[in-house]
Amino acid sequence: MPIARDDVAHLARLSRLALADEELDHLAAQLDVIISAVARVQEVAAEGIPPTSHAVPLVNVFRDDVVVPCLGAEKALDQAPAVEQQRFRVPRILAED
Amino acid sequence: MAGELTRMSAAGIAAAIAAGEVSALEVTDAHLARIGEVDPQVHAFLHVAADEARRAARAVDERRAAGEALGPLAGVPLALKDVFTTTDMPTTCGSAILAGWQPPYDATITGRLRQAGVVILGKTNMDEFAMGSSTESSAFGPSHNPWDLTRVPGGSSGGSAAAVAAFQAPLAIGTDTGGSIRQPAAVCGLVGVKPTYGGSSRYGLVAFASSLDTPGPLARTVLDAALLHEVISGHDPCDATSVDAPVPPVVAAARQADVSGLTIGVVPELAGEGYQSGVLARFAEAVELLESLGAKVVEVSCPHFSYALPAYYLIAPSECSSNLARFDAMRYGLRVGDDGSASAEEVMSLTRARGFGAEVKRRIMLGTYALSSGYYDAYYGKAQQVRTLITRDFEAAFEQVDVLVSPTTPTTAFPIGERVDDPMAMYLADLCTIPSNLAGNAALSVPCGLAPEDSLPVGLQIMAPVLADDRAYRVGAAVEAALDTRRGHPLLDDAKGLA
């Protein structure tokens, strides 16, 4: 099933990538090739086979409940693109209306 | 003397420093001079930290003068892949989105290197966020293979490999998600190891695919790789996936260098069509060599390995699409388009479109696709089942044999530019290395000669069971010793790219 250009535009939106038209055209063609190649996994008979999410399974990894120092505000904000009143300054998060 | 110092092994340098024959500072200066001389051609480094390196070297010399016992790699210079956080150097991951980023903390591996007195010379070039097999996806331009500067050094840890092959450092750290240590090691004529997953800490390693990412050593000898492996390994409470088990005795195994009594399996699925003839010829010779050294060689089929590449290119991009969501232009890194009227979401989308390169965008979108509702079961879910089947293939094989062997890569180093716009051709470079990432077991690449048609290095891959990393070192060291004796000089003496 080939991937349509509209689908690629939708993926870009979901991925928070503001892509130009020519970039979308280029990516759509490449993704189509890649997706048809990786779709080969569907040939494998895998009914009843459990999925593996992790190569070396570990469960319930806890550390001791001990208070340890964390980054101070100055260090945490040191690389921020914008800072105001000892906080990260971000663009507006609500719609204008 | 300076020239000789850069040709020495890490073990040799450490011994000479411990014996007082040379100072750590002299060793560091010799390597910094070499970097100054050849890095304009090789471009292995994104950042050289000369002052910090000299300071670390002086500290080792002072400790020695004070009579302190030094660790096995104290004073030895190292090149660190630019994906590990360092408080005194930028960490960019080869991406414009992190250009100039100065992390607030050291990765566990960075800290362990410092503790061991290893001298970090600087940060090495890499494919952007470790996605690639050539360093060509770096936002800062490719590195060049010291065997032939018109060819790639492999990737994603290509800068680390190029630095060691060009004698700019005797040791380097890389990361291996689908082959990113072993493949560059193979095409640069080095030893490279992907330890057992969880054997080396991911804390402070900027994540690409968390269930696959594994830090490990690159070196010119198997023993040097083993010494570095032991320095960086062991349980880390800061990494919840770190394995709480003793570090496999890899240094002892590298010194043992003996395969008598071992059964070695050849995987027929990792050879044949698509493999360069010289690679297959050298591989066949290496198998004969192992037999002549006393190993028993059998063929072991791993039927699901043929599906490892497609499964990997669903699993790794899926994890990447999730991990790279953190680059949101809010707390650190690049921010584009914040003009006071644009929304956070618009700024985020503009920043990510500008800050990420083509390969990273492809993988984020591929992963987003594989995880999206309606496609999840057919792609990501199915790939995870294939991952189980590949792990079972390994388990069944290791009931019959001690290690498995294959070529490390299907071809030798390819020309810069050849595969840049053909992602599937690029992905094939990881054909043989991916199964061990999916199953989490240890795997090592050791040089097994030059391909006759292009005189470029070929790697032999040795795969060992989970937490039996020492077996791969034992076999690798035996191959290395036999081939060095036969050749009469180290393989890298034949590298002519910088001659």
User: Burial of B63 by CB count in 10 Å (0-12 exposed, 13-18 middle, 19+ buried)?
Assistant: middle
pLDDT for residue A60:
82
Q: Which residue in chain A has the smallest CA separation from B307?
A: A41
Q: Could you check whether the bond before residue B292 is cis, i.e. omega within 30 degrees of 0?
A: no
Name chain B contacts of A78, Cβ cutoff 8 Å: 102, 104
B126-184 pLDDT tens trace: 999 999 999 999 999 999 999 999 999 999 999 999 999 999 999 999 999 999 999 99
Using a CB–CB cutoff of 8 Å, tell me whether A76 touches chain B.
Answer: yes
Distance CA B260, CA B215 (A): 30
Residue for token pair 């050749």: B487
Q: How far is A15 from chain B (nearest CA, A)?
A: 6
CA atoms within 13 A on the CB side of B139: 18
Q: Tell me, what amino acid is at B439? A: A
Residues of chain A with Cβ-Cβ distance to B365 below 8 Å are 8, 11-12, 15, 17, 27, 31
For B125, phi then psi, to 5°, come to -65, 155
According to DSSP, the residues that pair with B194 across neighbouring strands are B443
Residues B298-309 pLDDT 10s: 999 999 999 999
Residue B264 dihedral angles phi and psi, to the nearest 5°: -115, 130
pLDDT at res. B101: 97
Helix (H, G, I), strand (E, B) or coil at B77: strand
Of B342, B385, B389, the CB nearest to A91: B342
Token pair in block for residue B211: 């269930």
CB-based contact (8 Å) between A21 and chain B?
no
CB-CB under 8 Å, A44 with B348: no
* Percent over 90 (pLDDT), chain B: 98
A54: its two tokens: 């992790």
Residue A16, token pair as written in the block: 């928070």
H or E segment at B174?
Answer: strand B171-176
Q: Buried (b) or exposed (e) across A40-74, using 16+ Cβ within 10 A?
A: bbeebebeebeebeebbeeeeeeeeeeeeeeeeee
- pLDDT for the residue numbered B58: 98
Q: Which of B358, B366, B372 sits opposite A34 (nearest CB)?
A: B366
B310 vs A: CB within 8 A: yes
Report the Cα–Cα distance between both ends of chain B, in Å, rounded.
19
- Is B368 at the interface with chain A, CB within 8 A? yes
Identify which of B271, B5, B293, B239 has the alpha carbon closest to the alpha carbon of residue B108: B239
Summarize the confidence of residues B87-103 as an average pLDDT: 97
Q: Is A39 on the interface with B (CB under 8 A)?
A: yes
The ipTM (two decimal places) reads 0.95
Three-state DSSP class for B254?
A: helix
For B436-453, what is the mean pLDDT? 98
Give the C-alpha separation, B310 to A44, whole Å. Answer: 11
What pairs with residue B263 in β-bridges? B296
Alpha helix (H) ranges present in B97-221? 108-115, 158-165, 182-188
Q: Is the pLDDT of residue A2 over 80?
A: no
**Residues B395-408, mean pLDDT to the nearest whole number:** 98
The answer to whether residue B69 neighbours chain A at the CB level (below 8 Å) is no
Angle made by CA atoms B127, B132, B134, in degrees to the nearest 5: 75
Report the residue of chain A nearest B420, measured CA to CA: A30
Is residue B389 within 8 angstroms of chain A, CB to CB? yes
Angle at B192 between CA B190 and CA B198, to 5 degrees: 170
Mean pLDDT computed over every residue of chain B: 97
Best residue of B88, B176, B336, B385 to probe chain A, by most A CBs closer than 10 Å: B385
Contact A19 B353 (CB under 8 A): yes
For residue B157, which of B239, B65, B57, B44 has the smallest C-alpha distance?
B44
The pLDDT tens digits of the residues spanning B57-82 come to 999 999 999 999 999 999 999 999 99
What the block records as the tokens of B1 is: 């003397």
Among the partner residues A40, A61, A81, nearest to B307 by beta-carbon distance:
A40
Does the pTM exceed 0.80?
A: yes
Cβ–Cβ contact A29 with B under 8 A:
no
Find the residue in A nearest to B304 (Cα): A44
Question: What pLDDT does A59 receive?
Answer: 81
Give residue B2's pLDDT band: very low, low, confident or very high (50, 70, 90). Answer: low
Amino acid (1-letter code) at residue B231: V
Mutant choice from B328, B382, B395, B421 vs A, greatest count of A C-beta within 10 A: B382
Contact partners, residue B154, CB within 8 Å, separation at least 6: B133, B134, B135, B145, B161, B183, B184, B185, B186, B187, B188, B409, B413, B429
Nearest Cα residue in chain B from A54: B211
Using a CB-CB distance cutoff of 8 angstroms, which residues of chain A are in contact with residue B374? none
> Å from A96 to nearest chain B CA?
9
Residues of A whose CB is below 8 A from B352: 15-18
Q: What is the mean pLDDT of residues B393-418?
A: 98
The token pair at B323 is 């991990």
State how far Cα B293 lies from the chain centre: 28
Please check the confidence at residue B361 and state whether its pLDDT lies above 60.
yes
Tens-digit pLDDT profile for residues B310-357? 999 999 999 999 999 999 999 999 999 999 999 999 999 999 999 999
CA distance B341 to chain A (A): 8
pLDDT tens digits along B206-253:
999 999 999 999 999 999 999 999 999 999 999 999 999 999 999 999
pLDDT confidence tier of residue A96, bands split at 50, 70 and 90: low
Chain A's closest residue to B350, CA to CA, is A18
The per-residue pLDDT for A97 is 57
- CA B306 → CA A32, B284, B440, distances in Å? 21, 20, 17
* Chain A environment of B237 (Cβ under 8 Å): 63
B157-B355-B144 Cα angle (round to 5): 30
Considering only CB atoms, B440 lies closest to which of A55, A61, A63, namely A55
pLDDT in tens, B178-202: 999 999 999 999 999 999 999 999 9
The three-point CA angle B374-B377-B379 to 5° equals 95
Q: Which two tokens stand for residue B319?
A: 């994890």
> Which of A11, A23, A49 shows the shortest C-beta gap to B388?
A49
CB within 8 Å: B365 and A54: no
pLDDT tens string A26-77: 999 999 999 999 999 999 999 999 999 988 878 888 888 999 898 999 999 9
Q: Rounded to 5 degrees, what are φ and ψ at B37?
A: -75, -45
Is B344's CB within 8 Å of A92's CB?
Answer: yes
Q: Which residues of A touch B369 (CB under 8 A)?
A: 3, 7, 11, 31, 35
Q: Please state, for a pLDDT cut of 70, what percent of chain B lies above it.
A: 99
Give the integer Cα–Cα distance in Å for B40 and B18. 32
Active site residues per annotation of B:
81, 156, 180
- Quote the pLDDT of residue A21: 93
Q: Are strands B171-176 and B214-219 parallel, antiparallel or unpaired?
A: antiparallel
CB distance B459 to B492 below 8 Å: no
DSSP E strand boundaries for B7-135 = 45-48, 77-81, 119-124
Distance CA B179, CA B403 (A): 18
- Which residues in chain A have Cβ-Cβ distances shorter than 8 Å to B338? 81-82, 91
Q: What is the pLDDT of residue A1?
A: 58
Q: Quick check: B330 and A90 CB within 8 A? A: yes
The answer to whether B375 contacts chain A (CB < 8 Å) is no
CA B95 to chain centre: 18
Q: Is the per-residue pLDDT at B3 higher than 70?
A: no
In whole angstroms, what is the distance from residue B126 CA to residue B47 CA?
Answer: 12
- Residue B140: closest CA among B125, B121, B158: B125
Which of A40, A46, A92 faces B343 most closely, judged by CB atoms? A92
